[in-house]
Structure 1
């Protein structure tokens, strides 16, 4: 699920080799009996639930509901009567959890109610039950209609007679991801404009209407993630009946629940690929691209590109690319789930009008207080509730009750998500409020417009929905009451009134005009958005805010000009662009969104306005962001400026990648003819971006490449140039780089390129010389995917004249991955395995991920281990204390070929450096013992059969129409041209060895888990 990514809740199944890894009051002293000292079975009891949590000062927690009343709550909503509605997930992914029972009657949609005001639910009703809502990831209560999000469908369940039972079921949308997909459809929420907001993750693919036809947005564009123009996860808005769908943002990975405030601002979280510490919080700038994949090609973030970000958490989102909206905040590793904007006044001031968010993986509910910063925002983190002592605390959702208290749904589990669930018996709902506040809720009065306006002030969305519908239905009758609300001192109340007043057929624009003159910038922003929803000519509105002192207002105005066909729009956009300060990326991206499809006329108007002054810091940024052939000569001029070091201008080279290939090639050819003081560096970057098939094969061109290589010595561009142009005379330089560059990643890339370009003999000679250099080269060869690397290691392994230590190391390194294991097996079967390396080979093969390999090794080496005794139950293992120091040795021996931890290991499966802060021991054990039960999204294995008969097994790290990159066990990547693929087939198992736990003594397994449980985020 969003891993409840559920996706992430388990930091993945962790693939391969350890694929593991795929309240009392505020911060007071721990209770007399520390919760971690309780016996495990007592620590998990509902009566001790509050002991495992720490909450922020000024707040108090009560247990509203727990097992057996509920189990496995995946999502939650609270109605206008204060009743808590829950989607249960007992039947979560039964096909991946074969040992777990299944409720044949299906999962439930429950209504929990506290009838006596003591803060605990005392009644439970089943609103609906069925196999079609198993582990639904979204519920939205709108009066007597309830929207249930359960991939691949969205249902509307209606209670027609008021008996709290669904009498009618309709399909609103379908065709969204696969059944129960964590990266599919998520919850709907009611917006202040009377519309519905929702999202789906990067497996959503498309939306079909109830008739099974592809849905189109309001501009007639098919809604799918095929890149024309939308990619990956998306955010949507539609009318309550599902019509008039708009795509409000795209290119997310697994965005999970969008939150909308009174002014129409959208906020959501997004989930990174496992282990990359890139989970983010986004302000959703309408119609923005959020950079999970390459905008033009759809390539994965790992694919090399010019001006690539240095840090993986930022590289993950293509943040250096023109056309990508900045992130509000990056929170590291996590599994983000439910989110809301708290617009009540019961909680302390720090949380009022702020985002509140559940992140299940690090066991925390947080707030992100934001401050305006130019056209964008900055934010900090304030924890509300944290599972400091109880890592089974898995907050899956947060909601606000009518009294302003905060409710938290806890899918209490050692590590749910990524197809896996560890516990089917438990689940909790908590209420968070200041001490001494009882939970009493009176149904809202809606008999008069004045009553309904009062209800519209509620912090609870279900209450506001009822009020909005009543006020909208009254039309002119509601105007006096709404006008009074519009004059409120509370700008959020003002905005809610404005949305309704703006929809009056005869007076709507009158109220919008008045709001455009308001002293509060948020009201002016709301007015622009309300005018946009009327679908008229927006230019009259933009004119009024053209020189607004607020960058946020001007940002909104720029976006409002998107796709405007008014002849006045180019000049208005130009005036807004002229106010860009050269520093505010949010403002720049708003300009880019506003100019979409109209860059020709918009940029021309700006150039006319700026004249010769366009070439300033701010002007160069606008050219960088532009998407029109008219910008290409300007980009050329910027790059060729002799007073500017081209190494400081890499972003302008990257901008060329966003133009059609013929236009791009013409500019690159022009750049190659330049005379910059650092022309060789410009040539190097231009050659990297050029299509090598279009490059002239002349002596002059070869000479240019040679000079370019000299300008990028010991840089990644050197390796890329040699590889791209198949240059075969740079072996000594590549060998030197392989031994000396600081970056391990670059050393491995260099070795790969060296072998691909005929450097095998150079390596062979070095292996027989300096022992220290040979040691480093052997390690690099072990990570190489080429046949040459295996041949070199095999030759050394068999060479009796070579250093015995090097021969043993070669044996260990050759055993990385399937191909190397097969080489050792063949030596073993033909009795050619040297006695010197017997012990090393045995260690490699007895720890192989394939059962058949281990079985052959057992027979050959006569280990005498015989049948191993069965492991104790996971609950018993989790109670055992291991030696973390010895466990690290086990990790390095068994798991480091596929995982990174604390800076050591291989980048194949998810990074485990913070796994102990996210998963309970039970979940870690389950990931190791039964890896097939939880394969994290994005790490599913595939077998590729190539047209030459070769097969490749691994997971897809990136794919474009031209090429698929397959990451194989050991961390190497095979780049396969799409034209060479004869067939692909999903691998039926996790890439992690299924026999890993059984291949080691029990004490080693306990030590390993002990070590992994110590790996936590540094505070």
Structure 2
């Protein structure tokens, strides 16, 4: 194999940027730069604020040496390995430019010691690694994550050319998808840790067979409880893979500290201000989708959380591990635990994280709190106030302890689109005057190996670990000496090697007696990893004074029958420690029927007065739980606390419904609406008791959302007056649209037509506006009676035509248009609707008939500097955007929320997203074509798919519609966005963007 080395003389580009004596421009000076200057390498360091004056950032490498870095690792020689993504998402967005030879893995090296890369080696290039999202260098092997595969490249002779390429894992969903397989990292226990986002679907060996959990179940999104994003670990050769946690959205990377604890970020549904940082508890469910139904987080439920970020992760549901930190809006990427000494003390042993959305690098100091943690947020680097093209894609520790940051550098943050293909940067962050000098380490003597074992760089750590492990008992003495260090984390690193000695269990038992609770945590983790079977050990550790240790004991017995251990752990639970409660639930998952009755019998009759017992019943899943929940509900003094009702949703369906019927007979009147919402009801075979109660209660229901839910579920036709009031109210457009649709389904079109014919023109137009929002063929036909009526007033005809839009309505309008049945005075309105149709086929046909005026003649350079009128832009947003997007409390929750879009996308990215909506569809908002057995087709957004149902949102609606999978023949993802390219003039577009970029 020929060695493909590309050495670039980029010093001319880099010298001025890396001049450490050059002061950073003031904000005024930076603002005076042209956009071209701001985007240039010359001013790269001026665009990013270093928020600690003890630290200094330098530019290690930039374009043309590299472009579009998605992930990064640093080997033991201090060389930076990069995965590029020039061919980004080309399978989903064919409009993105491509390089036929494929994307590259680069090795960037500083050969002359001046702190700047002057040599670039192409380690590998090919279409099989297009848009790879992970790279990790372990000895002579390089792990590259690019769904559907994990490749392992082996460089046998150290010439920086792979001699072998193998598939380690395959079958991961999401080919070229940001929510697919992510990077591997090395844990202190000698394991490799990795994850994938919620497009991953499942993990398979190289031969295609699925990995199995300890019960022999395939680990895939089709096997309960596994769903959405997951975390895994395996041995360095890929053997013994384990699933460790699940139900994340897009958990981009996982970091592991020296005690074996996992830390991770997670991305929300775009625009919902719900990104988070998690401490990852083994076997934890992290709540992105409903655990039982797999329903979307927006689905209304009893005891629903009081804020979007809580709703987003189902934090009120039993069985969901809590979040550590909320970061609100963002696009989180790389993460690590910094265990070096070069950075100041407050950075040491902390989680450090890159977030490309708000252009920041952050640190999260955490403190133990019960069985969990509390944390805070500290910014380290910030590009938002200056260069919002700074898009940190990864953060990594070099062998000297300095931080390296890879910068995707783009007006946007990926998704499906890329705005800049020519740029990419690598920065180094270190204390001032700390030069980057790395010598190739020597792994010869025990002393050298122990020193290198303590290095913060994972490549060095890996090499030292493997060398010491190979030495076996020869290294015992020096490792025991290292175990005596005062530095707890380095002591833990020695421990993880000592357990591999012939008498490793002895070291585990000794560590279990250590005065440091973190070492005891590691001891319990080691018990599991080594496959120990010592019940007395677990009994002893269940009595440990530390909640942190007892948490680990709980997850350690998940697959063991250890009633006495669990009962001892339950004794230590104190109400309010959700981490501990979830650990107990994880432990009891397969044994609730034996554990819970024994626990309650031990407490005795006083269990109903115990907050801890109530919590455990709420969390439990035993056959007796519904009856216990019934008893708690009946005794509950605060009817506003409906958590016990929500807990019924996690029980067997038959027992749940029987309990609800029992509560109707015995319960408080205040809870009857909740019971009506939760109880199963078949309109074809109606339960008379439930139906009669719904009729009696509907008029009393205070919450309009509850009212609509009950009226729809029980098909009540005696609530017309209130339903009409909701249709005509102006405070909530989404509620009005839902009400209008429900009114049409209950009463038909006749009454609506009469309202539109009202002799009072103001009232007639109000009816047209309100009911015209119902997007059905029947409504389109009705509206046509008015816009075709030349006897009606211009105002009425105009209103009817303006409402003749929507995915289901526009086919009718097109049939009228193609046969020239549109009145000439209304033709401009119809043309605008059809040329910006939600239906791509109609849009193409309309453009052919009327001429393509969309995106023609736009002068992007001019628009970038043009000033728009914000108020006009707000009006345009109200016309076009609020039909499918939320802005604050206004609009429809169909597409991604725009409330903080100005803090995520630059002006250029906003313009491109509006002109070319198909190039940047957010994940979870892609167009899906659903075909039914009866020949019907719909285009929609799929919120979730359960074993029996497909839950979707139709265009322009926040409502979820449920279809039976048995009636569906296929579900196909399309490359075309449901968002049309709106026919805006150049000035209208500038006005709109001027408004949107102020939403932060």
**Do the structures match in fold with TM over 0.5?**
yes
- Report if the CA contact (8 A) 2:775-2:809 is conserved: no
User: What is the CA distance between 1:237 and its match in structure 2?
Assistant: 0.8
Identify the residue that residue 139 of structure 1 maps to in structure 2. 135
685, 692, 695: which is aligned to 1:703? 692
User: What is the CA distance between 1:744 and its match in structure 2?
Assistant: 4.3
User: What is the CA distance between 1:525 and its match in structure 2?
Assistant: 0.9
- Bigger shift: residues 614-623 or 283-292: 614-623
Q: Secondary structure at the match of 1:658?
A: coil
Cα separation, 1, equivalents of 2:711 and 2:264: 43
The reply on whether 1:39 has 2:34 as its aligned counterpart is yes
User: What is the CA distance between 1:752 and its match in structure 2?
Assistant: 2.7
Identify the residue that residue 990 of structure 1 maps to in structure 2. 977
- Bigger shift: residues 706-715 or 69-78: 706-715
Identify the residue that residue 1009 of structure 1 maps to in structure 2. 993
Cα separation, 1, equivalents of 2:760 and 2:631: 50
Cα gap change, 1:632/1:894 in structure 2, threshold over 3 Å: closer, same or farther? closer
50, 53, 60: which is aligned to 1:55? 50
**Aligned residue runs from structure 1 range 64-213, under 5 A:** 64-95=60-91, 98=94, 101-213=97-209
- Report if the CA contact (8 A) 2:181-2:197 is conserved: yes
Cα separation, 2, equivalents of 1:809 and 1:373: 60
Identify the residue that residue 652 of structure 1 maps to in structure 2. 644
Identify the residue that residue 387 of structure 2 maps to in structure 1. 390
- Report if the CA contact (8 A) 2:172-2:201 is conserved: yes
Q: Secondary structure at the match of 1:226?
A: coil
The reply on whether 1:611 has 2:608 as its aligned counterpart is no
User: What is the CA distance between 1:873 and its match in structure 2?
Assistant: 6.0
464, 467, 471: which is aligned to 1:470? 467
Cα gap change, 1:869/1:454 in structure 2, threshold over 3 Å: closer, same or farther? closer
703, 719, 724: which is aligned to 2:708? 719
User: What is the CA distance between 1:256 and its match in structure 2?
Assistant: 0.7
Q: Secondary structure at the match of 1:488?
A: coil
- Report if the CA contact (8 A) 1:731-1:759 is conserved: no
Cα gap change, 1:26/1:523 in structure 2, threshold over 3 Å: closer, same or farther? farther
- Report if the CA contact (8 A) 1:538-1:560 is conserved: no
Please list the CA deviations of residues 270-323 of structure 1 after superposition, one character each: whole Å capped at 9, or x if unmatched.
Answer: 111222121111111110011111211222222232222232222121111111
Identify the residue that residue 961 of structure 1 maps to in structure 2. 947
Cα separation, 1, equivalents of 2:835 and 2:485: 74
Q: What TM-score do the two structures reach when normalised by structure 2?
A: 0.92
Cα gap change, 1:693/1:163 in structure 2, threshold over 3 Å: closer, same or farther? same
The reply on whether 1:756 has 2:745 as its aligned counterpart is yes
Identify the residue that residue 433 of structure 2 maps to in structure 1. 436
- Bigger shift: residues 38-47 or 93-102: 93-102
Identify the residue that residue 977 of structure 1 maps to in structure 2. 964
User: What is the CA distance between 1:836 and its match in structure 2?
Assistant: 7.8
Q: Secondary structure at the match of 2:980?
A: coil
**Aligned residue runs from structure 1 range 515-534, under 5 A:** 515-534=511-530
Q: Secondary structure at the match of 1:34?
A: helix
- Report if the CA contact (8 A) 2:356-2:413 is conserved: no
Q: Secondary structure at the match of 1:814?
A: coil
Cα gap change, 1:470/1:330 in structure 2, threshold over 3 Å: closer, same or farther? same
568, 578, 584: which is aligned to 1:585? 578
- Bigger shift: residues 490-499 or 895-904: 895-904
Cα separation, 1, equivalents of 2:163 and 2:485: 41
Q: Secondary structure at the match of 2:943?
A: strand
Identify the residue that residue 13 of structure 2 maps to in structure 1. none
Identify the residue that residue 10 of structure 2 maps to in structure 1. none
Q: Secondary structure at the match of 2:665?
A: coil
User: What is the CA distance between 1:840 and its match in structure 2?
Assistant: 5.0
- Bigger shift: residues 833-842 or 886-895: 833-842
User: What is the CA distance between 1:854 and its match in structure 2?
Assistant: 6.6
- Report if the CA contact (8 A) 1:26-1:59 is conserved: no
Cα gap change, 1:578/1:757 in structure 2, threshold over 3 Å: closer, same or farther? farther
Cα gap change, 1:26/1:96 in structure 2, threshold over 3 Å: closer, same or farther? farther
User: What is the CA distance between 1:599 and its match in structure 2?
Assistant: 1.1
Cα separation, 2, equivalents of 1:26 and 1:364: 24
User: What is the CA distance between 1:883 and its match in structure 2?
Assistant: 3.4
**Aligned residue runs from structure 1 range 220-235, under 5 A:** 220-235=216-231
Cα separation, 2, equivalents of 1:538 and 1:763: 73
- Report if the CA contact (8 A) 1:76-1:87 is conserved: yes
- Report if the CA contact (8 A) 1:26-1:55 is conserved: no
Higher relative contact order (CA 8 A, sep 6+): 1
Cα separation, 2, equivalents of 1:673 and 1:782: 43
Identify the residue that residue 262 of structure 1 maps to in structure 2. 258
Cα gap change, 1:824/1:25 in structure 2, threshold over 3 Å: closer, same or farther? farther
Q: What TM-score do the two structures reach when normalised by structure 1?
A: 0.90
The reply on whether 1:784 has 2:808 as its aligned counterpart is no
User: What is the CA distance between 1:258 and its match in structure 2?
Assistant: 0.4
Cα separation, 2, equivalents of 1:699 and 1:489: 72
Cα gap change, 1:922/1:695 in structure 2, threshold over 3 Å: closer, same or farther? closer
589, 602, 608: which is aligned to 1:596? 589
Please list the CA deviations of residues 937-972 of structure 1 after superposition, one character each: whole Å capped at 9, or x if unmatched.
Answer: 222212334445443222212332333233233225
Please list the CA deviations of residues 479-524 of structure 1 after superposition, one character each: whole Å capped at 9, or x if unmatched.
Answer: 2211122121111011111111122222x22222222222221111
User: What is the CA distance between 1:563 and its match in structure 2?
Assistant: 1.5
Please list the CA deviations of residues 328-362 of structure 1 after superposition, one character each: whole Å capped at 9, or x if unmatched.
Answer: 12212221111101111222233221111111122
Cα separation, 1, equivalents of 2:937 and 2:840: 19
413, 417, 430: which is aligned to 2:414? 417
User: What is the CA distance between 1:1012 and its match in structure 2?
Assistant: 2.3
Cα separation, 2, equivalents of 1:524 and 1:773: 73
Cα separation, 1, equivalents of 2:810 and 2:637: 52
242, 245, 250: which is aligned to 2:246? 250
Cα gap change, 1:220/1:962 in structure 2, threshold over 3 Å: closer, same or farther? closer
235, 239, 244: which is aligned to 2:235? 239
Cα separation, 2, equivalents of 1:193 and 1:123: 34
- Bigger shift: residues 56-65 or 118-127: 118-127
Structure 1 portions without partners, runs of 5+: 1-22
- Report if the CA contact (8 A) 2:752-2:771 is conserved: no
Cα gap change, 1:774/1:965 in structure 2, threshold over 3 Å: closer, same or farther? farther
Cα separation, 2, equivalents of 1:133 and 1:843: 43
The reply on whether 1:662 has 2:617 as its aligned counterpart is no
Cα gap change, 1:248/1:771 in structure 2, threshold over 3 Å: closer, same or farther? farther
Please list the CA deviations of residues 793-822 of structure 1 after superposition, one character each: whole Å capped at 9, or x if unmatched.
Answer: 55665678988656544432332x133334
- Report if the CA contact (8 A) 1:227-1:298 is conserved: no
The reply on whether 1:682 has 2:678 as its aligned counterpart is no
Cα gap change, 1:963/1:24 in structure 2, threshold over 3 Å: closer, same or farther? farther
